[in-house]
Chains A and B, each alone.
Chain A
Amino acid sequence: MAIDVPRRWIPYFKVLVHLAALYPLINLYYAAFSDQLGGDPVEAVIHFTGIGALNLLLISLLISPLAKRFKLIFLMQFRRMIGLYAFIYALCHILNFLFFEVQFDLQLFIEEVFKRPYITLGMSAFLLLTALAVTSISKLRRKMKNRWQILHNFIYLIALLVVIHFYWSVKSEIIEPLIYFAMYAALMMFRHKKLRGWMKGITSR
């Protein structure tokens, strides 16, 4: 049974998604600027936007399995915007680090990116995600034809890099990162056929 919603409802849902994604961000920065974000607002905004980006990334990966399994085809219309919000949160995450943590010390910023493996990994994931965000424009998608899908399959690698980045960044509290590993693994299970196909492609070569 396919559940579908009337086409004219979609824009309203989209407004809801925009609000759900933007409200926490606006709230966060308002609290940070007005000193209502605990003892260290810098750490708070970095962590919030980092975890937020990862959550949105995982939600975007949940959409196509849900749409297929429960025939909720209309959900596919939200995948791009959720993916783009993951990118926006990730961008905020990095800008927070640059603006508030290293405070525009570009040399320190670059040193940290190359010297610290977990930051190198996170930055690699961000650069890949940027490529996906840029090519999400419909015009480019049509132009790229089947190369578009190949590029956007990198989302599986990006999500993995981000989870490792999180795991690597903590001092000792590894349980939360391990939960994210489990969620990532579950999302990959939905795609086992696709993944197995690739593995065959690699091994038979």
Chain B
Amino acid sequence: MIIKTTSTSDCKEHDVTDENIYHQRRELIKKMGFLGAGSLLSSSAGASILDIFRDDKIPPSLFSQNKLDYKAINGFDEELTPEAKITGHNNFYEFGVEKQQPAELSQSFNVNPWTLKISGEVENPLTLGYDELYSSFDLEERIYRLRCVEAWSMVVPWIGFSLADLVKKAKPTSRAKYLSFETLYDPVQMPGQRSRRLGGGLDYPYIEGLRIDEAMNPLALMSVGLYGKTLPPQNGAPIRLILPWKYGFKSIKSIVGIKFVERQPATTWNLLAANEYGFYANVNPTVDHPRWSQASERRITSGGIFAQNRIPTLPFNGYGKQVADLYSGMNLRKYY
């Protein structure tokens, strides 16, 4: 399904950038004749031209990103985090714990061939190869807020398909209660899996999990691209999960396996520090991380140190209308 309706909780461009400045920028670009009418509608082209004005640097990439064919969101007036920041500031410990390391250490990552195996309690186990990641389902753009458990956030134009479509295709049996996800384990290509120093002492492969009704929620996205192109490695190429109402660490990257299971599966950060990272990890301003507040967040946009504005964090990251029903009756302090 296509999610194009804007709800009142969605953040708009004018929340972050002064509207006048925003329109002036667009005017300037139009006047300079850099963009044709068609490309004006495409958020990716618009953003990359803006990036030149913003003096952002996109790290030189050996990894080639292909243009994707997808249903774009047109006329979506939302301030995006610049591409250079989305691809230059990553928590992907397989490629190093420091934020800039994944962009530096992942550029020779080989994603083709790729195998995503869907197995477990399903009537129709399936395997998707590299090309099938892009061709099995209709791709659409979705602009989501991403809230990291470290209390910073971004707005990202993802491209992908509904996890629910994949679940339906696999036809879960009545015993399938949870989904268990797994990242590629390849220490040769992923230096963080070779070295405890680079990998932050996590146990690999990285694993994540969801309840099956959470997986069926229309917001849950299997992303294969961002800003109009296939994902770069540091953002989880070739395929990753996006759960915009949960902290970022739930949105597992570079997935090779999805298994339908009966019991709640183990998850990587929960195994490392159960008191700090729960299974649900829903964005919740009223439940602090033991070592920092979750009541507000810094929105990463364009601009330097003065532009990183602190804004209140919303329950379920502002997607409560779509997902709160999943957790009715649950004590969210206990199931954090």
Contacts and interface: CB of A to CB of B under 8 A. Distances in A.
Interface of A: 32-43, 45, 100-103, 105, 108, 111-112, 115-118, 168-169, 171-176
Given A112-B293, A174-B201, A41 B305 contact: yes
Interface string B277-309: 000000000001001110110101011111111
Given A32-B304, A35-B56, A102-B310, A40 B89 contact: yes
A170 to B, nearest CB: 8
Given A101-B298, A174-B201, A35 B272 contact: no
Q: What size tier do the contact residues of chain B reach?
A: 35 or more
A39 B196 CA distance: 24
Interface of B: 54-57, 84-86, 88-90, 93, 97, 99-100, 150, 152, 196-197, 200-202, 272-273, 288, 291-293, 295-296, 298, 300, 302-310
Given A35-B54, A42-B308, A116-B292, 12 more contacts: A33-B305, A34-B55, A35-B56, A36-B55, A39-B85, A39-B86, A39-B99, A42-B298, A108-B293, A117-B291, A172-B93, A172-B272
The 5 closest A-B pairs by CB, nearest first: A39-B89, A35-B304, A173-B200, A32-B305, A39-B85
Contacts of A116: 291-292
Dominant SS among interface residues on chain B:
loop
B99 A43 contact: yes
B73 to A, nearest CB: 23
B300 A33 contact: no
Given A39-B99, A100-B305, A172 B202 contact: yes
Contacts of B295: 108
5 contacts: A38-B89, A116-B292, A172-B273, A173-B200, A174-B201
Nearest to B90: A39
A117 to B, nearest CB: 8
Contacts of A174: 201
Contacts of A34: 55, 304
A100 B296 CA distance: 13
Contact of B152 (A32, A43, A115): A43
A40 B292 contact: no
A33 B305 CA distance: 5
Given A108-B296, A118-B291, A37 B305 contact: yes
Nearest to A44: B99
